Structures are given as C-alpha cells and as structure tokens.
Amino acid sequence: MKKTVFTGAGVAIVTPMNPDDSINYDVLGKLIDIQIENGTDAIISCGTTGESATMTPQEHVDVLKFTIDRVNKRVPVIAGTGSNETAFAAQLSMEAERLGADALLIVTPYYNKTSQEGLVAHYNYIADRVNIPIILYNVPSRTGCNIKPETYVKLAKHPNIVATKEASGDLSAVAKIAALCGDDLAIYSGNDDQIVPVMSLGGKGVISVLSNVMPKLAHDICAEYLNGNVKKSAELQLKYLDLINALFCDVNPIPVKEALNLMGVNAGGCRLPLYPMNEANKTVLKNALLNHGLIK
C-alpha cells in the first residue's frame, strides 16, 4: 500500500493579486496562516484556482517557494507542476522537489491533449525524474483530456504515482477507478459538491475551492466522514450546497476571489483572460455568502 499524502481537505489556494496584477505576497502569507489555523489538511499551490496558467515560469517557482517556506512543514504542501509540455512539467516538478514540496499535483496535458498511451508515457517520464509523490489531476472540462479508469491502472504501477484528484464529475468512473486500482491509488474529490459521494467510494478527502472561504467547514465535512459520522458529514455538505454551487457560477477562480474580496480579504482580481463577474452572478454569490453569515 502506498503512503497517503494527506487525508481530509486540502485547499486549492488562490493567488492574491495587486491592482497592477503582480502577486500580493503579504495577503498570500495571511491566507496560508488562516488556512492552517482553521484545520486545512494540506495546501495546494499553483493549481487551477491559483491561476498557474497565467504565471511566468519564474513567478510559478517564486510562489511555490514562498508557500513552502511560509507553511514551514505545518501541513503538506502540494505543488501544481503540470504542463502540456512534458519536459517543462518534469523540469518544474524537479524544481518543486528541490524547494521542499511534499508532493506534486500534475494536470493532464491540455490543448494539444494526447492519447491514453500518451498519458502513460507523459506521467511516467515525469515520475521517473522525481522522488516525491505525484497526485494526478483529471479535469477534462478544462483540458479536453480524460484519464480512463483502465489507464489509471497502468499509471498506478509507478511507485511515485500515488493518487488522483478526480474532477471529471463522473461518479461511475470514480467507482470503477476505486474498484480497479484499490490501495494502489488514493482518490481525492476535485469537486466540492461530491466530497461525501467520493469518500463513500473510498476517497481520502477533497482538494477544495470551498476551503478558501470556509476552511473549517471543508475540513469538518471530511473529518466527520473519516470519524464514521457519515450522516453529519452529508448534512454539512448539503447545508452549504448553495455556497458550493455559487463558487462555481462563473469560471473558477473568479467567484472565489470575488467572495474573498466581499469578505474583506484583499484577494484582488484575476488575470486576463479571466474577467470580472457580471451582476447576475455576483448577486447569486452575495446571497449565498449572506445566507451563511460570511458577509453582512
């Protein structure tokens, strides 16, 4: 059985921006501390929610280094190092390991995509060049590339490939992955509205957007389930389903950054091509935040 990177709720943390679109490290540091103080089980840096797609390579490395140093081993830091160029993903992964990352989150190749055989070659190329665990990241709605359950079986044979973040939304596929891979591959929900269903199929927790605004809640949904309080876990997820959905009423991370700003946290805006929310979506988000006492 492979070692689990973490159990519970890991936050796919936002990258705060200044008005000139530079990275706001002061706010990032405060957000990291707030997350850990409120029970977050891992910090995922430079993922989709962290806007890694619009970072320069140097910014990417700088944000990872800052996060690793700020966390200072209080919880695991998982570095987003995926790319649609295999050699660059491997280079970035090796640099993240050198900086002290505890694990890597590597999204499937996007835009150019690849075949299932190509996915195996891509991930094995990277995994052969690092000595820390890799969490695969399957989000076909954003990448146009889907990891099939049978392909997971092949990928899980590599000792460094230990888990997946499943954001396909396909619970039938998650069930098949769990059945085929067993203890060779841990599964994390990549969707906050599916934490309990994925954990019911053996999942270890969630890599969460919700955690950015309610870290204790995301942690508690997982902790209650892991402690055998399935009913309580489900009740928490359902109680906050309107907020979970509101955080995805526009392209992630537009709504979660807007939510943090409304809550008084200076997360700033998103870099283009992500664009500010329209008023209709902003109303949906505000109503959900009001409903749960996060703003007045």
Are the beta carbons of 133 and 103 closer than 8 angstroms? yes
Q: Which residue has the tokens 């499937």?
A: 108
150-203 residue pLDDT tens: 999 999 999 999 999 999 999 999 999 999 999 999 999 999 999 999 999 999
Count other C-beta atoms under 10 Å from residue 284's C-beta. 17
Q: Judge if pTM exceeds 0.85.
A: yes
Are the beta carbons of 78 and 103 closer than 8 angstroms? yes
Q: Which of 137, 152, 188, 225 is catalytic?
A: 137
Q: Which of 65, 123, 152, 165 is catalytic?
A: 165
Burial status of residue 272 (CB atoms within 10 A of its CB: 0-12, 13-18, 19 or more): exposed
24-55 residue pLDDT tens: 999 999 999 999 999 999 999 999 999 999 99
Q: Could you give the CA distance from residue 259 to residue 212 in angstroms, rounded to a whole number?
A: 9
**Which domains are assigned to the chain?**
8-227 (3.20.20.70)
Q: Mapping DSSP to helix (H, G, I), strand (E, B) and coil, where does residue 168 land?
A: coil
Q: Could you give the CA distance from residue 268 to residue 255 in angstroms, rounded to a whole number?
A: 12
Verify whether residue 137 is a known catalytic residue. Answer: yes
With a cut of 80, say whether residue 1 has pLDDT above it: no
Verify whether residue 296 is a known catalytic residue. Answer: no
First-to-last alpha carbon distance for the chain, in angstroms, is 48
